[in-house]
Amino acid sequence: MSVAEILKELPKLSVKDRAVVWNKLGEITEGELPESFRQGMKEISEGRHVAMEAALREEPPSAER
């Protein structure tokens, strides 16, 4: 399987399966990437992220009014 084929299939994976792929990739590349970057990518692969536009334009749910 080529890299292009792998990349094409990744979006089709469930959030759980993408997290598994990310964790395995992290094991392979450990030491090559900063921990903060790997943590951020892990959170994204688990679906724990906010769109940049929403972050810039909307108040967080916890904001006091």
What number is the average pLDDT over the span 19-42?
82
What number is the average pLDDT over the span 33-50?
81
What number is the average pLDDT over the span 47-55?
82
Q: Judge whether residue 12 has pLDDT over 90.
A: yes
Task: Give CA–CA dist 10/14, Å, rounded.
Answer: 9
Is residue 23 a contact partner of residue 41, using CB atoms and an 8 Å limit? no
The CA distances from residue 1 to 6, 27, 52, 60, in Å, are: 7, 21, 33, 42
What number is the average pLDDT over the span 15-30?
84
Q: What is the pLDDT of residue 45?
A: 75
Q: List b or e across 15-40, with b for residues whose CB sees 16 or more CB atoms inside 10 angstroms.
A: eeebbeebeeebeeeeeeeeeeebee
